[in-house]
Structure 1
Amino acid sequence: MLELSDAQIGGWVGQFALPFFRVASLLATMPIIGTQLVPMRIRLLMAVAVSLVLVPILPDVPTVDALTLSAFLLVLEQVLIGVMLGLALQLFFQVFLVAGQLLAMQMGLGFASMVDPANGITVPVLGQFLNMLATLLFLGMNGHLVALDILAESFITLPIGEGLSTNHFWLIAGRLGWVLGAGLLLVLPAITALLVVNLAFGLMTRAAPQLNIFSVGFPLTLVLGFLITWVGLADVLSQYQQAATEALQWLRELAQAP
């Protein structure tokens, strides 16, 4: 009959279960993998697979009793670290939704929205288009592998039992304004061009008051907005690389010890 001691059970809990909670929390909250498009069972199997790969190379983890308050606090700590890293990636993808919202409002497409199947919320069509483009670029440039690499490094720079500090939460709060700034910078040329178009229509109205600017300007603004957006896509890659570099660097800073 196989008998297991408390020390053996505690060692297994600390060696596998604690890293598993950090990995599973990240995969459950990060974009793409953590969306509703990926079933929960698939995410759970991915978390188990990643944990099995990481456990042999991780530094020593504390041995804890499975049913004690200290074990519960360690599990809660790992969940918070994983959610924090996943939230950082979510903020990066929100940049493109904000950019699409700003551009849609300037074009007069603020009413054109659709249900995002990944998050289950209503987003502007242009925002969804930019979000899909960012998703393809993120996967094409192996951004998900970089995120997993940073996760693996976090077990060294932020060991289990080290604890979080208020600096991590201040880093997240400080990046909330970065989302709006990066989104505005992404579509600033298009917004500026559409502003010039609207100013031109205003001058036309002053010069010819009998001209029905609403019946003429609205469709022209839409057509020119789509044309400006199409031309601006040529520079999306460079702007995406800059935003992705800043986001991943910020993610690496979050994974550092306090």
Structure 2
Amino acid sequence: MELNCGLKCLKYLLFAFNLIICIVGIAALVVGIVSMVEDSNLFSLLKLSLDQSTLVQSSSVIIIVTGVILFLIGFIGCCGAYKESECMLGIYAAVVLIIIIIEIAGIAVAAAFQSEVTAELKNGLKKHIAEDYDGTGARDTFTFFVDATQVQFDCCGVDSYMEFMNATQWNRGNNTIPLSCCILENKDDYNENPSQAKAKYSNCQTAPDATNSNIGKTCYNSIKDFAMKNARNIIIVGVVVLIVEVICFIIAVCLCNRLRKDGGTNA
């Protein structure tokens, strides 16, 4: 079967889109595998504990799974377009449609239940601080990322620095806040050398105030402000991805219909 000029252009456009998706999938797969294979070197470089390395391994698995899914979707799209296969294009269109529906549903649910999700997230984080935060990150992954977040965003606590007074696993002594809430001399080196962190003011942990620490900034609001500042870029990327998905779906459906009418290949 010979496609007309317009459908040929759509065919090659669909092929190009999915070739890019394949490449992205392969790249993600390689990154995930390399990070998992080289985990001992990576963990040594980042000076992560055993628990923290487990989280990094989990992240590697997620990256690998994402890469495989992207590659499979792109591969089906490429083969379907190249071979003009009604069956493969139909499968591809169905998968893309499901992804579009899930994305739109996710956005709608997030918008409708934003306050509930926010409340649950805050309560969950506060509960973890009370039950798991140990002040050093040596035994608990959660502690490490709480500290890293506080250093990165110059904040202290989810809603208040007083939340750390409820941390049952933290042997605080006379300290009111953890070191990560203090203004540090070597903030930029924290992620690589958390054990070498040093407060700029020696009385920060025992007598924190707005000049020697970040107790005046809560982490939830700091992260929210950061997200709002970058919301435009996030929205643009999301809209572009959604538009590309819709275009791919429409092209696949158009090609399927033409192939069906002309008795195209089902291979």
Q: TM-score range by the shorter chain?
A: under 0.3
How does the TM-score come out when normalised to structure 1? Answer: 0.26
* Bigger Rg, which one: 2
